[in-house]
Chains A and B, each alone.
Chain A
Amino acid sequence: MTGRPRVADLLHDPVLHGVRTVAGAAGTERVVEDVRWYEGDLDDVDGHLLLCGEADVTPLYRLDALVRRAEEAGAAALLVIAGPARPLLSSVRLADRLRIPVLWLAEDHPVRLVQELTARVRAPQQDRARTVERLLRQLGTKRTGQEILAAAEAVLTARLSLVTSEGDAVLGDPVPPDPALRPERPVPQRGDHVLVHPVLDPDVHRVAAWLACPYERAAEARLETLAIGLAVTEPFLRSWLSAQRAQTVRDSVFQTQLLSEILTGGDSVSRDVVEGAVSLGWQLQGWHVGVHLVADPPGRAGARDPVVERFRAGLAAHGVEPAGAVHRGNGWALWTSTDTEPAPEDARATLDAVRRVIAALPRDRDLAAGIGRPHRGPGGLAETLAEARDAAELARSHDYRPAVEHSDELGVARLLATWQRSEVTRAFADTSLAPLRDPAHAHLLTTLRAYLESGGSVVLTAQALGVHRNTVTARLQQVRERLGVDLDDPSRRLALQVACRALGV
């Protein structure tokens, strides 16, 4: 059996919405045992919330006597459905003095009010059962999270939010964090001014979000009703979340299929494909530059990979705005589209941007990227993405991360690859790099290789190796000393770079 509510609890209950406490506020902690409509007699009203109509307080001076007699009879409070009138000061003063709350309601349906109040006070279980039934009825027809929340709010007559563990709103208003709550425990909880119920992730057993219901104060019975209301609402929200996720997967599958159709179709793409591309904001006509990003472990197809999102956002921040990012094979295909042919120096800028962005991403995914050359039209898109993919494969073959290759340089790379495999080159490499070959100096060799691959940039080398650039400078100085060569001489640099590759450093 739940404890009886206090007057103040009922005042915060939606059933008394619009009620003003006009007097006797000091008595609002009185316990309400029952509810009674006043019909002229005050027998056995001890602890009752007495309701009376306009006629009982018209003229208004009659309230004086009623307040006194109600107090003498032990009534908990007086609720007057009073129309537009306001009580005499004498009644207010008297109720204040006697500390009996006088509640004022401009207008309501007395029978309904007495019924609902009685249920609140006498039979909270019944009230709860009715709430659950109405909730189930209402929620069954709702589709979106917003609809579910709105329907639950209407039935529970409470404010609801779907929030993250930090209190940020997914749906509804944000809820300030409550120190009494333990977000790490996925169970329903009651804070000082908020009830929360975990909404579990549809795929794995962890909390995806919290269904939160802030309240000012409420009777125990009301809180229990709200808690059950949240429990009833949660599966509906969970299934909505699940549907949301499926939608996202569907979208990404659609994108992958569309892209593969474009790639196989070349310049002759069907009308459907064009429409699909337009709906995604892809411009098929025009110039494209492809970028292929691979990661290890690879992301799941369909899921939004935060690394890709950040990579994309980073590129955009550097002025390279990818039109799409589609899961493809072992990585993601991204590309930029322009109406006019990109200038040769743009290729350099793109390479630079990709290098900078990828260097800023987390290292635990072993990222590598390749960049294609500009090509035109749907067929061009296929071509540049293919080049990007090849370049990414080459980048992946390097043993440092992150690695970036541009397909402009692949022709050279092929040439170099021939050289690398020649015996002459091998012999040169063995001799020239001998001072760095012992394991104690492996880091110097790696630094030299990275320095040469990054075009002689100390900053990019530092980023690629994940060390401070002063460290790179210091190591390069050691390299100079040990090898006795001038790293500023282009011929020397070229020879050393070929040697490094030949050794497969």
Chain B
Amino acid sequence: MTRFGPDVLRGIAVEHIDALAAGAALLGSGGGGDVALGSHLLRRALAPAGRRVEVVPAAGLPPGALVVHAGVVGAPDVLAERLLAPGDLARAVEAVVGHLGGDLAAVGVIEIGGLNAVAAVLTAAHLGVPVVDGDLMGRAFPGINQTTAAVAGHPAAPLALVGPAADTVVVPAASPAMAEALIRSCAATMGGAASLAMYPLTAAVLAAHGVRSSLSACHALGTAYLTRDPAAGARALAARLGARLLFEGRVDEIRPPLAGSPGCTTLTSPDGGATARLDHQEEFLAVTLDGVTVAGTPDIIVALAVGSGAPLRADQLRPGHSLVLLGLPALHTWPPGTAALVGPPAFGLDLEAVTTP
């Protein structure tokens, strides 16, 4: 499901980076890490005139072609401060390819929301291979099993992690639960964050089960956002982004997430009439308006600061902030029965059914 379908991205050059980063930040749903550092690195990688990373749809690759998904994993705070190393990302991909044998056809995007959208492009640039126009999440999720590939029964392993000192861990096989646990503990050992390559899939599998055209959609969304009329109201911006305007109001109270239970932020509309509750962990998970849940993951929830219009991450909210809450449609329609994996219950949220006005 791609709203920005017709505007297909064929390649990524310097001029595409701003829109790509802006789109990734919006699709992060308040999480996914800080895009800024990654986009600076990508700008440097693509700086030599004419350099570009080719963008190909999965269906455009030979069915047996190998695609490995690359990105970073770890604590957002560490990722925000430690430069990602394109060489480490490439090394992780090569470790997976080396384990499997064969040739790498393209690099895939794990999650289109946040830093990893840029990280995959950066890896492809480093390795000189195309990047697939798609991803495995259609937004940002904290768990490596919250992917369309996992839903389709494809394991994340063989996978590889590379630390900042080029320490490499290859996991040839792992159950979904162990894959998650191993990656977390390795990343912690490697200083809180690591470069990760996983989900080696054939182009045919990816074409069948991946989220399609996410890079194009991300770029188109970012372009629409960057070319908005700053003077126009929230409603106009929502219409421009194809989003639902969920709420406008001021942050009155923030209860941070505690031991697995999501945090809750209370917003009050300027006239004091309505109250919205924004539930969040590392991402925004749900918006409840006067006791009625109007948006919930995997819907993409965007909090824009009134004034600058900048998207805010969950950790950037402060009491007193005036926000516009938007609901972007998910880039992917998750099949029935996946609510436990990507819906509110996956985050410990026990909400009544989402009501779409």
Q: Which residues of B are found within 8 Å of A69, using beta-carbon distances?
A: 291
Q: Which residues of B are found within 8 Å of A62, using beta-carbon distances?
A: 350
B82 contacts chain A at the CB level, 8 A cutoff: no
Among candidates B288, B348, B350, residue contacting A90 with C-beta atoms closer than 8 Å: B288
Q: Which residues of A are found within 8 Å of B255, using beta-carbon distances?
A: 60, 88
Contact with A along B61-98 (1 / 0, CB 8 A): 00000000000000000000000000000000000000
Q: Which residues of A are found within 8 Å of B273, using beta-carbon distances?
A: 97
| B65 CB to nearest chain A CB (Å) | 46
A64 contacts B252, CB within 8 Å?
no
| B257 CB to nearest chain A CB (Å) | 10
Q: Which parts of B260-278 form the interface with A (CB within 8 Å)?
A: 261-262, 264, 266, 268, 273-277
A59 contacts B261, CB within 8 Å?
yes
Contact with B along A56-83 (1 / 0, CB 8 A): 0001111011011100000000000000
B180 contacts chain A at the CB level, 8 A cutoff: no
Indicate whether A88 sits within 8 Å of B264 (C-beta atoms), given known contacts A94-B275, A97-B273, A97-B290: yes
| Minimum CB distance partner of B288 in chain A | A64
A93 contacts chain B at the CB level, 8 A cutoff: yes
The answer for the CA separation of A88 and B266 in the assembled complex, in Å, is: 8
Among candidates B277, B290, B350, residue contacting A88 with C-beta atoms closer than 8 Å: B277
| A426 CB to nearest chain B CB (Å) | 107
The answer for the CA separation of A67 and B290 in the assembled complex, in Å, is: 9
B7 contacts chain A at the CB level, 8 A cutoff: no
B253 contacts A61, CB within 8 Å?
no
B103 contacts chain A at the CB level, 8 A cutoff: no
B351 contacts chain A at the CB level, 8 A cutoff: yes
Q: Which parts of B277-305 form the interface with A (CB within 8 Å)?
A: 277, 279, 288, 290-293
A413 contacts chain B at the CB level, 8 A cutoff: no
Q: Which residues of B are found within 8 Å of A93, using beta-carbon distances?
A: 252, 266, 268, 275
A89 contacts chain B at the CB level, 8 A cutoff: yes
- Choose among B253, B266, B273, B276 the residue with the greatest number of A CB atoms under 10 Å from its CB: B266
B352 contacts chain A at the CB level, 8 A cutoff: yes
B277 contacts A64, CB within 8 Å?
yes
| A445 CB to nearest chain B CB (Å) | 93
The answer for the CA separation of A330 and B333 in the assembled complex, in Å, is: 112
A64 contacts B291, CB within 8 Å?
yes
| Minimum CB distance partner of A68 in chain B | B291
Q: Which residues of A are found within 8 Å of B253, using beta-carbon distances?
A: 88-90
Q: Which residues of B are found within 8 Å of A89, using beta-carbon distances?
A: 252-253, 266, 275
Indicate whether A68 sits within 8 Å of B292 (C-beta atoms), given known contacts A88-B255, A90-B277, A93-B275: yes
| B341 CB to nearest chain A CB (Å) | 20
Q: Which residues of A are found within 8 Å of B288, using beta-carbon distances?
A: 61, 64-65, 90
The answer for the CA separation of A481 and B264 in the assembled complex, in Å, is: 107
| B80 CB to nearest chain A CB (Å) | 28
A59 contacts B275, CB within 8 Å?
no
A90 contacts B352, CB within 8 Å?
no
The answer for the CA separation of A65 and B293 in the assembled complex, in Å, is: 8
The answer for the CA separation of A67 and B352 in the assembled complex, in Å, is: 13
Q: Which residues of B are found within 8 Å of A67, using beta-carbon distances?
A: 291
B291 contacts A65, CB within 8 Å?
yes
Q: Which residues of B are found within 8 Å of A65, using beta-carbon distances?
A: 288, 291-293, 351-352
Q: Which residues of A are found within 8 Å of B276, using beta-carbon distances?
A: 90
Among candidates B264, B290, B293, B350, residue contacting A94 with C-beta atoms closer than 8 Å: B290
The answer for the CA separation of A64 and B292 in the assembled complex, in Å, is: 8
A60 contacts B268, CB within 8 Å?
no
B290 contacts A68, CB within 8 Å?
yes
Q: Which residues of A are found within 8 Å of B268, using beta-carbon distances?
A: 93
Among candidates A61, A68, A97, residue contacting B264 with C-beta atoms closer than 8 Å: A61
Q: Which residues of A are found within 8 Å of B349, using beta-carbon distances?
A: 59, 61
Q: Which parts of B318-352 form the interface with A (CB within 8 Å)?
A: 348-352
A90 contacts B292, CB within 8 Å?
no
- Choose among A68, A69, A89, A90 the residue with the greatest number of B CB atoms under 10 Å from its CB: A90
Q: Which residues of A are found within 8 Å of B275, using beta-carbon distances?
A: 89-90, 93-94, 97
| Minimum CB distance partner of A63 in chain B | B291
Contact with A along B5-43 (1 / 0, CB 8 A): 000000000000000000000000000000000000000
Q: Which residues of B are found within 8 Å of A94, using beta-carbon distances?
A: 275, 290-291
| Minimum CB distance partner of B253 in chain A | A89
The answer for the CA separation of A68 and B275 in the assembled complex, in Å, is: 12
Q: Which residues of A are found within 8 Å of B352, using beta-carbon distances?
A: 65
| A337 CB to nearest chain B CB (Å) | 77
- Choose among A60, A67, A94 the residue with the greatest number of B CB atoms under 10 Å from its CB: A94
| A182 CB to nearest chain B CB (Å) | 49
The answer for the CA separation of A295 and B274 in the assembled complex, in Å, is: 83
Q: Which residues of A are found within 8 Å of B252, using beta-carbon distances?
A: 89, 93
Indicate whether A90 sits within 8 Å of B264 (C-beta atoms), given known contacts A64-B288, A68-B290: yes
The answer for the CA separation of A90 and B249 in the assembled complex, in Å, is: 12
The answer for the CA separation of A90 and B273 in the assembled complex, in Å, is: 12
| B274 CB to nearest chain A CB (Å) | 8
The answer for the CA separation of A67 and B293 in the assembled complex, in Å, is: 13
Q: Which residues of B are found within 8 Å of A59, using beta-carbon distances?
A: 261-262, 348-350
Q: Could you name 16 residue pairs across A and B whose Cβ atoms are closer than 8 Å?
A: A59-B261, A59-B350, A61-B264, A61-B277, A64-B277, A64-B291, A65-B352, A69-B291, A88-B255, A89-B266, A89-B275, A90-B275, A90-B277, A97-B273, A97-B274, A97-B275
In the complex, besides A65-B352, A89-B253, 5 extra interface pairs with C-beta distance below 8 angstroms are A59-B350, A65-B351, A90-B253, A90-B264, A97-B290
Question: Which residues of A come within 8 Å of B, CB atoms?
Answer: 59-62, 64-65, 67-69, 88-90, 93-94, 97
Closest 7 CB pairs of A and B: A68-B291, A89-B253, A90-B277, A93-B275, A89-B266, A90-B266, A64-B291
